Amino acid sequence: MYKFTLTGFTVAALAIGASAVQADEIDLDAGEELNNQVCAACHGATGVSDVDEWPSHAAQHADYIKYHLELFRDEDRWDPDMLMTENAVPLSDADIRNVAAWLAKQDPPPGEDVDEELAERGAEIYYAGIPDDNVASCNACHGPQGEGIKGGQFARVQGQKETYLRESLKAYKDENRVSDRNRMMRDTAGRMSEEDIEAVAAYMASMTPVSEED
């Protein structure tokens, strides 16, 4: 009897050990499957969106994707057309980890065709900010090639959909989107005019990719 108990205990302890390891593992195949079944319909088969209002996620940083999926799951992320939240509510922690890791590994979006004059003005804002209005340069946090900063909340913006970028900046400006820690984007967009926003959105959408992986 004593021996039986000891063995049972040992087996249980081993099982706990094994599941603790599995909990941190990333399953890219499962991430791809979830993407194909759920996300691809709106965000594209390889994370490059075909719809102007819906963002691309190819090569986006896994930590950024994870943070936003958790916010949507908690019904706590700006979702103007209420298309995203219901898709995030059923996701498990493992689903979020797997799909974020898979999306981060896809090739970045190619860059969109935009109004060139608008994008030229946008590039000035992106690299120099708007000193008169106390707007910081975007490249400080989003990288010289729009690549963002790995391992944090600093989003990749290169080749993102122009309309999505513009609407997101307006949503920060209007205090609708509040997912930015320390008000980093609300304070930035809040000091920009609609024309500034349109220009910088055009520039970011037009940026072509550099090879960089998460």
Q: Return residues touching ligand HEC (CB under 6 A).
A: 34, 38-39, 41-43, 54-55, 57, 65, 68-69, 78-81, 83-84, 87, 99, 125, 135-136, 138, 140-142, 153-155, 157, 160, 165, 168-169, 179-180, 184-185, 188, 200
- The CB-of-20 to ligand HEC minimum distance in angstroms stands at 25
- The CB-of-177 to ligand HEC minimum distance in angstroms stands at 6
d(CA 143, CA 37): 32
Identity of the residue, 25 or 81, whose beta carbon is nearer to ligand HEC in the bound complex: 81
Identity of the residue, 8 or 151, whose beta carbon is nearer to ligand HEC in the bound complex: 151
Contact 172, 189 (CB under 8 A): yes
- Cα dihedral 30, 33, 34, 35, rounded to 10, equals 120
d(CA 28, CA 7): 35
CA angle, residues 195, 202, 129, in degrees to nearest 5: 60
Beta-carbon count within 10 A of 20 CB: 9
- The CB-of-23 to ligand HEC minimum distance in angstroms stands at 20
Identity of the residue, 7 or 134, whose beta carbon is nearer to ligand HEC in the bound complex: 134
Identity of the residue, 127 or 210, whose beta carbon is nearer to ligand HEC in the bound complex: 127
Beta-carbon count within 10 A of 178 CB: 15
Nearest Cα to 162, choosing from 99, 207, 212, 213?
A: 207
- The CB-of-164 to ligand HEC minimum distance in angstroms stands at 6
Residue 31 has phi, psi (to 5 degrees) of -65, -45
- The CB-of-19 to ligand HEC minimum distance in angstroms stands at 24
Identity of the residue, 7 or 75, whose beta carbon is nearer to ligand HEC in the bound complex: 75
